[in-house]
Chain A
Amino acid sequence: MTTASEVLSSIQSAFPGAVLDSRVESDRRLWATIDAKTILDVCKHLSSKLNFDHYSGAAGVDWIARKEMEVVEIMASHGAHQVVAMLKVKTHRESPSAKSLTGLYWNANWYEREIWEMLGINFEGHPELYPLLLSDGLMGAWPWRKDYKGYPDLTTGERAVAITTPEGYTEYRFPPTPAEIEAGTVVVERPKYPSFREREEKEIKSDSEMIMHLGPQHAMVPGPFLLDILVEGERVKKAFLDLGYIHKGIEKIMENRTWLQGITYTDRMCYVASLSNNECYCGAVEKILGLEVPERAQYIRVILEELSRIQSHLIGTGEFLTLIAGVGYAPWQYMIMDREKIISLIESVTGARLTHTFVRFGGVRNDLPEGFAEQCKKVLPYMKSRTEEFIELFAQDPIYHARMENIGSISPETGKRMGCSGPVLRATGVAYDMRKEDPILVYPDLDFKVITGTRGDSADRIDVRLREMLESIHIIEQCLDRIHSGPIKTEAKIPKKVPAGEAYYRVEDPRGEMGMYVISDGGDKPYRVKVRGPFYATFQTLTPLLEGVYIADAVAIAGSMDGCPSEADR
Chain B
Amino acid sequence: MGISDVIPVPVAIDEEIEKWTIFGRPVAEVWFTTTEKIHQIIEMGPIKNIFNWGRKNSVYFLMQPMGCCGVEMFVFGAAPYDSDRFGCIPRNTPRQTDVMIISGYLTRKYLPVFKNLWEQMPEPKWCIAIGECAISGGPFYDSYNIIQNTGDYFPIDVFIPGCPPRPEQFLEGLINLQEKIKQRKDKRDY
Query: Which A residues are within 8 Å of any B CB, using their own CB?
Result: 134-135, 137-138, 141, 143, 148, 150-152, 154, 169-170, 216-217, 219-224, 244-250, 252-253, 256, 264-265, 268, 271-272, 315, 332-334, 336-337, 339-340, 353-355, 566
Closest to B164 in A: A354
A513 to chain B, nearest CB (A): 22
Which residues of B from 36 to 69 have beta carbons under 8 Å from A? Answer: 62-68
Option from B66, B72, B75, B80 in Cβ contact (under 8 Å) with A223: B66
Contact of A246 with B110 in the complex, beta carbons under 8 Å? yes
Q: In the docked arrangement, what's the CA distance between A248 and B108, Å?
A: 10
Interface size of B in residues (CB-CB distance below 8 Å): 42
Contact of A248 with B107 in the complex, beta carbons under 8 Å? yes
Contact of A223 with B70 in the complex, beta carbons under 8 Å? yes
**Cβ–Cβ < 8 Å partners of A315 in chain B:** 71, 74
Contact of B65 with A264 in the complex, beta carbons under 8 Å? no
**Cβ–Cβ < 8 Å partners of B28 in chain A:** none
Contact of A219 with B164 in the complex, beta carbons under 8 Å? no
The main secondary structure of chain A at its interface with chain B is: loop
Contact of A246 with B74 in the complex, beta carbons under 8 Å? no
Given A246-B66, A271-B71, A135 contacting B109 (CB threshold 8 A): yes
Q: In the docked arrangement, what's the CA distance between A141 and B115, Å?
A: 25
Option from B67, B115, B117, B144 in Cβ contact (under 8 Å) with A252: B144
Given A221-B65, A253-B143, A353 contacting B109 (CB threshold 8 A): no
Option from A135, A152, A170, A216 in Cβ contact (under 8 Å) with B142: A152
Contact of A224 with B139 in the complex, beta carbons under 8 Å? no
A320 to chain B, nearest CB (A): 13
At the interface, yes or no: B180 with Cβ under 8 Å from chain A? no
Option from A216, A221, A249 in Cβ contact (under 8 Å) with B145: A249
**Cβ–Cβ < 8 Å partners of B65 in chain A:** 219-223
**Cβ–Cβ < 8 Å partners of A219 in chain B:** 63-65, 90, 92
Contact of A336 with B149 in the complex, beta carbons under 8 Å? no
Option from B143, B164, B166 in Cβ contact (under 8 Å) with A249: B143
B71 to chain A, nearest CB (A): 5
B40 to chain A, nearest CB (A): 27
Q: In the docked arrangement, what's the CA distance between A148 and B143, Å?
A: 12
Option from B67, B80, B153, B166 in Cβ contact (under 8 Å) with A271: B67
Given A248-B145, A337-B80, A566-B67, A354 contacting B72 (CB threshold 8 A): yes
At the interface, yes or no: B152 with Cβ under 8 Å from chain A? yes
Q: How many A-B residue pairs have CB under 8 A?
A: 126
B123 to chain A, nearest CB (A): 18
Q: In the docked arrangement, what's the CA distance between A1 and B68, Å?
A: 42
Contact of B105 with A246 in the complex, beta carbons under 8 Å? yes
Q: List 14 A-B contacts (CB under 8 A).
A: A135-B145, A138-B144, A169-B153, A217-B62, A219-B65, A223-B70, A245-B107, A246-B104, A248-B107, A248-B140, A249-B145, A333-B78, A354-B68, A354-B72
Closest to B146 in A: A248
Contact of B68 with A134 in the complex, beta carbons under 8 Å? no
A296 to chain B, nearest CB (A): 29
Closest to A148 in B: B144
Option from B108, B141, B143, B148 in Cβ contact (under 8 Å) with A135: B108
Contact of B142 with A268 in the complex, beta carbons under 8 Å? no
Excluding A219-B92, A249-B146, 10 further A-B contacts by CB distance (< 8 Å) are A143-B144, A152-B142, A216-B110, A217-B64, A217-B113, A246-B66, A268-B68, A332-B78, A337-B79, A354-B71
**Cβ–Cβ < 8 Å partners of A244 in chain B:** 107, 109
Q: In the docked arrangement, what's the CA distance between A223 and B153, Å?
A: 21
A91 to chain B, nearest CB (A): 24
Q: In the docked arrangement, what's the CA distance between A244 and B80, Å?
A: 32
**Cβ–Cβ < 8 Å partners of B166 in chain A:** 353
Encode contact with A along B95-110: 1 for CB under 8 Å, 0 otherwise.
Answer: 0000000001101111
**Cβ–Cβ < 8 Å partners of B164 in chain A:** 271, 353-355
Q: In the docked arrangement, what's the CA distance between A400 and B152, Å?
A: 47
At the interface, yes or no: B11 with Cβ under 8 Å from chain A? no
Option from A222, A248, A333 in Cβ contact (under 8 Å) with B79: A333
Contact of B140 with A246 in the complex, beta carbons under 8 Å? no
At the interface, yes or no: B17 with Cβ under 8 Å from chain A? no
**Cβ–Cβ < 8 Å partners of B115 in chain A:** 169
Contact of B145 with A170 in the complex, beta carbons under 8 Å? no
